[in-house]
Amino acid sequence: MNALTRTATRPRHFVDLADLDTETLEGLIGEARRRKAARQGQPHGAADSDKPLEGRVLALIFDKHSTRTRISFDIAMRQLGGTTLMMSGAEMQLAREETIADTARVLSRYLDAVMIRLLDHEMVRELADNADIPVINGLTKMSHPCQVMADVMTFEERKGPIRGRTVAWTGDANNVLASWIHAAARFGFRLRVATPRELAPREGLHDWAMGAGAAVEFGDDPERAVAGADCVVTDAWVSMGDEDAVKRHNLLRAYQVNERLMSRAAKDAIFMHCLPAHRGEEVTNEIIDGPQSAVFDEAENRLHAQKAILAWCLA
Ligand code: CP
Ligand code: NVA
């Protein structure tokens, strides 16, 4: 395909769940489940039987640390028959002030898709706006859409359709919460959010939830948020790029998921965390290692959900 035919139709980016409609997102979850089921018992290195991305190259660009995103995207691409190229932002000319728009135009001449982890969300948007190939958000300061696709898939595996169910968030308002808020609107579940007032979601996100008709309740009381919920979610108290660690720890101590808080949720509620976890801080060992925890299924489902996303972006 040359540059002219590529620009004739805009690529399918995956930057935010808010950009996509319910039908598309539900279709992706269905495809992820189908692919997961179809390769049960296969070694991780074996390709899927259809190899839809044979001959395609995905660049994985990381400006920040990663274990799950990096490995799951690489293996996802291999299982779909494609290949990857791994780079850190620091070793690219981006770090020496080449513009993101020029970078996008150049990458579009070599690659079939880009997955990028960059804290600056607007830079990822700018990359997508200027690229002729799909751009996938692998986490910014504003959102983590691939994670929450895996989380919705995990919820549904354990508890059936998420539509109409109740998810509780306890912690600060970070990137993962923003994608949960987008997901609540698109997948039609209730989300009860408890954050300290000083670490509450920014107004824009609040307004987006209201405008989208999402069933999201914002508050600062973790016990109230968790009461009767089908799922309790938390995340690290200090995200990548956060600076005020001591203050955050002090503000968030009361938001820890422990046996006392978890006992307020529905009896068969599950516990989710995107990982990496800080045991003894946002969650106790009893909960993360206990029977209600779904954290390692979430990590596995990153692989399956991202295969559906890659296949959709490159269809
Ligand atoms: N959950 C998640 O994105 O993990 P990594 O930072 O290890 O990629
Ligand atoms: N909120 C965390 C998620 C890590 C996967 C962070 O941004 O560091």
**What digits encode the pLDDT tens for the residues 243-300?**
999 999 999 999 999 999 999 999 999 999 999 999 999 999 999 999 999 999 999 9
Nearest to 193 by CA among 214, 212, 164, 162: 214
Identified catalytic residue from 16, 48, 74, 235: 235
Write the pLDDT tens digit of every residue in 123-162. 999 999 999 999 999 999 999 999 999 999 999 999 999 9
Spatial neighbors of 166 by CB under 8 A, at least 6 apart, are 189, 190, 191, 192, 228, 229, 230, 231
- Distance in Å, CA 275 to ligand 2 centroid: 8
Per-chain mean pLDDT for the chain: 96
pLDDT over 70, % of the chain = 97
Q: Is the CB of 147 under 6 A from ligand 1?
A: yes
Q: Measured from the CB, is residue 262 less than 6 Å from ligand 1?
A: no
Q: Is 139 in the pocket of ligand 1 (CB under 6 A)?
A: yes
Query: Contact at 8 Å (CB) between 299 and 68?
Result: yes
306 touches 146 (CB < 8 A): yes
Segment 157-177, tens digit of pLDDT: 999 999 999 999 999 999 999
- Position 1 scores a pLDDT of 43
Quick one: pLDDT band at residue 8, thresholds 50, 70, 90? low
Residue 273 CA to ligand 2 center (angstroms) comes to 10
Q: Which ligand is nearest to the CA of 118?
A: 2
